[in-house]
Structure 1
């Protein structure tokens, strides 16, 4: 192991990535950020579906659109792209060869599809007994829905998230609402990363590989957290509260004279300072509002009074005053605001990587901050098939003649 690889938490790990779209690639990108050698297998000519999910597209040095959609760029940095037709016997054999020299296989094919090619866990385990194999599907490998295709939007609804998200039914605009990003995909990618890391640790201690069965629906249900336990404890299904909180008041958005703020009062002392800052101290001494349980009970009376109070000042006036008073608050930023925020800048969340099309690609860095083995950004999201010959040559030891034959047969 080289000194450089020792500076990467996963510098000793190779990942064979057979995933596409978002959940699987998100997991693989996490592993790549931490130093793993991630080999992304893509279909010849078309590649990952998200390469074409645009506009917008990456622009080259002259400002012209390239073939790289921004969606694809979000989840694929740090990987090596190999184009390979796995529907052919030759392509399947190359996958088996790569699996023998890999630690982890990630895949998100339909249940049973890879078994037809001899590329399922049971088959590849015979090639490499300590292999860690992670399958990501909509509904998992078992159960009555296992054969269904899973899509993030559908799973957000099916898993209960949309019953909790959106404005109250009795208010204007009320009704179920999906999240602004594909949360079940992204959280499945995160849970998959954790599961792979746990399996690697187990393998390092025992020499034993294992199979990981990840499902979007499982993750969507699991991540409802306290909403699940609220229901399990009470037997009452939680309802939508919009930007309010079912258990805490006030914990929501308010309109100021020129925008909106979030006020997140977590205890009675913060509430008292909030209304004192707004010039309404009597709202803290009123028995209906003095404690959080009473504020929750009298929410519909209190919130209009607070809304009227907040409208008397500008957004920045409130933020400055509440921060000085020790009351948790914040603005609702658009992405212009986010990437100009001094805290976001100080934390290095915006990164720029050189790109083969010329110029740079603008990306968002990993939030993982590690003192010895921090994430490293050595490669931008790869062009389709950019590393095919390199991987076949360096990882599998194939000759230029063998690579030329595979190219001629359109296997790669």
Structure 2
């Protein structure tokens, strides 16, 4: 087994749903020991699908240890602070109010461990909204993303929680930067990542673009995204009802596409330049739809490949992992969890996938971690009896049986 860059580092996660668990998932993939500290009720994602764990929990919590503590009790709080004294990093995405109430602010934990890297993923970083709450769709709404995604006339969230995941990735970048710093200052070890600020950074291209158009044209106008500004760049349906996405970004791409599919428009000098194709967008779009729609999928992709056109099939989720590309070394991790089998995508760049630990049961490693912290068996028993900590219970968070009525 190869030595990973964060081997020997201990990371404490106090998180739920996506942002913090996604950050610690990446750190775990880089070799860190991640101890997932959960309340007796567990991470919310443990009970999202028919009473059992959802895809979020399975995908982003394998390889971690679960320590279940009731932080509202003095005994539980004492255990957590003793654990914090042994850690390199703590990452959480609890609300500001809960953070103060539980006594786990940066200043609280630095009393236990002055060198700990403390990362709080929260709704808003410093500013007048510092105490406000935000979720992934709130970040989308407040940074311009949602205004572009109109469903049935109503601004709507994108669906996947990409802003949560970006915030988790930004947290990892900041943590790694601090670990690499040979002489970090105290402020470097106190990290705040706001979902709002994450959204701003993701939208920076569009925010700069609208400022550019306002100054050039005297009115706010959004720069069109590539798919909408370049005719022929998008998804088109074949005659056998499959969708292929074409990468037609340049004039050279257009020439390859139109000639490869034998389109009569290939010889039209008026369409040779993108500027002119934009002016005749409807004509170009109709021509590409007709050309692709006259071919079945296999014939279409043969012609596209021979012409050197970039493309891919638009796949439903249930077919994504059928692709041979997805099964190359280091791409997927095989997990067996509660009698079910999963192929879970790895953090990109892995050369191979170690079997590793499956997602932990709630409190599965509670006693193991307590003993490592120096608690004797009778002390562990006392903590368990007082319900300050919890161990895994058989059949807890089990999926309800699914009926397949036909």
TM range, smaller chain:
0.7 to 0.9
Residue segments in structure 2 that go unaligned for 5+ positions in a row: 215-219, 390-406
* Aligned counterpart in structure 2 of residue 384 of structure 1, from 362, 366, 375: 362
The one of 273, 285, 303 equivalent to 1:321 is 303
The answer as to whether partners of 2:236 and 2:292 remain within 8 angstroms in 1 is yes
Please list, as runs of the form range in 1=range in 2, the aligned pairs for 1:218-233 lying within 5 A after superposition.
Answer: 218-233=197-212
Residue in 1 that maps onto 2:292:
310
Runs of 4+ in 1 over 6 A off after TM superposition: none
Report the Cα distance in structure 2 between the residues aligned to 1:174 and 1:205, rounded to whole angstroms: 53
Figure out how many residues of one structure are paired with residues of the other and give that number: 382
Task: Find the residue that maps to 2:75 and give its secondary structure.
Answer: helix
Matched, 1:333 2:319: no
RMSD, aligned CA: 2.4
Q: Deviations over 1:204-261 (max 9, x none)?
A: 45486511111112112211353233223213342887xx624433211112212211
**Aligned-pair CA distance for 1:309:** 2.1
- Verify the 8 A CA contact 1:361 1:380 in the aligned structure 2: no
Corresponding residue for residue 368 of structure 1: 348
Secondary structure in 2 matching 1:262: strand
Aligned CA distance change for structure 1 residues 28 and 247 (closer, same or farther; 3 Å): same
> Which of 154, 158, 161 is 1:179 aligned to?
158
Change beyond 3 A, Cα 1:264–1:314? same
Matches within 5 A, 1:189-338: 189-202=168-181, 204-206=182-184, 210-235=189-214, 236-238=220-222, 245-258=227-240, 259-287=242-270, 289-338=271-320
Query: 5+ residue gaps in structure 1?
Result: 58-66, 168-172
Decide whether aligned partners of structure 1 residues 310 and 401 sit closer, same or farther in structure 2, where only a CA change above 3 A counts: same
Match of 1:163 in 2: 147
Cα distance in 1, alignment partners of residues 149 and 312 from structure 2: 20
Select 2:102's aligned residue among 95, 117, 121: 117
1:25-72 per-residue CA deviation (whole Å, 9 max, x = no partner) reads 01111111111111111111x1001101113x7xxxxxxxxx433332
Partner of 1:401: 378
Alignment TM-score, normalising by the size of structure 2: 0.87
